[in-house]
Amino acid sequence: MRVAMYYRNDDVRLEEMPKPKIGSEELLVKVISSGICGSDVMEWYRIRRAPLVLGHEIAGDIVAVGSKVKKYRVGQRVFVSHHVPCMECRYCRSGHESTCDTLRTTNFYPGGFAEFVRVPEVNVDRGVYVLPRELTYDDGALIEPLACVVRGFRLGGFEPGDSVLILGSGIAGLLNIKLAKALGAERIIATDISRFRMGAAKSMGADAAIDGNADVPKLVRDANGGRAADFVVVSTGARIAFDQAFKCVDRGGIVLIFAPPAPGTSVSVPFDELWKDEITITSTYAGSPKDIMEAIEYLKSRSLVVSDMITHRFGLADTGKGFALVAKADESIKVIVEPQK
């Protein structure tokens, strides 16, 4: 079968590898739609394991079922979660499933930028979701990133009526905007340094879009009735966004670290100010089965639509072009790879 093999952001090659063989407890899924995630182009995060086949936002068709698998059948349209928790350890029991050792070591093989993936037994058991008829394959490819955002709002303690500031309007930032709107935010303010993405933020629900290089704390207050934001989401790894977050959160508010800075980046935290203003700083990583199911319901009910986020599509041979677009972080939002083309 064909795969897009990642060596670095500017070196993604079309290669051949054997189609995976499945065991009695496994599935073989033909990948129809596979999204390029912002984390796929975080080179510092990926290159240490290269060469490898990336891609974890997938939807497709079951084409082979192991002899002992009873829950699924050939022909079903599915979303497959690449990371799954054990649901038994102390982290899972306390609601921190994304810190589970099992979640951090499970994956399908070889990756979503391939014509087919083998779904291991543990993923079959708790990581395969039949797509409702209301959802397209592209909707399915966006379930995973939306689930990550759902988890952030839940763990972060968002409340309807909060004012929300999203720092960074890439795909994750725009999904944060959409969810904030769906959940009843009072006002949504977004930032970015790209004029294209500032426009996208406005078109997808932000009440105001601010240039990230401007005086963001002042402009946030101007756009929010003179006060800072209740719920601030750092959705970019740029150091300046962390500095802005602490200056833009209102008393009693929350700063959610959704995107990480590069390793070795120092972030100054003004604890003396945050302490007396009772600011909460929290973080989120990945999504749990609960978050995935909630994301599916948002899409199924159409209370949150993601089809308008897809700006580019590429066949498998042109996956490198998609990586270049996402890494440039300018005039693209969601880039979809279609491995069967």
Residue range 81-104, pLDDT digits in tens: 999 999 999 999 999 999 999 999
The domains of the chain, with CATH numbers, are: 2-142+306-338 (3.90.180.10), 147-283 (3.40.50.720)
The number of beta carbons lying within 10 Å of the beta carbon of residue 282 is 12
**Residues 143, 333: Cα–Cα separation, whole Å:** 16
Residue reference for tokens 């995935």: 292
CA–CA gap between residue 67 and residue 30 (Å, rounded): 18
Strand locations in the chain, DSSP E? 2-8, 11-16, 27-35, 57-65, 77-80, 116-119, 128-130, 163-167, 187-192, 208-211, 229-234, 249-257, 280-283, 310-315, 334-338
The CA distance from 85 to 36, in Å, is 23
Q: What is the pLDDT of residue 330?
A: 85
Whole-angstrom distance, CA of residue 12 vs CA of residue 321: 9
Contact 165, 331 (CB under 8 A): no
Give the C-alpha separation, 54 to 37, whole Å.
10
pLDDT at 302: 96
Quote the tokens at residue 326: 């996402």
pTM for the model stands at: 0.95
- The predicted-structure confidence for 7-63, as pLDDT tens digits, reads as follows 999 999 999 999 999 999 999 999 999 999 999 998 888 988 999 999 999 999 999
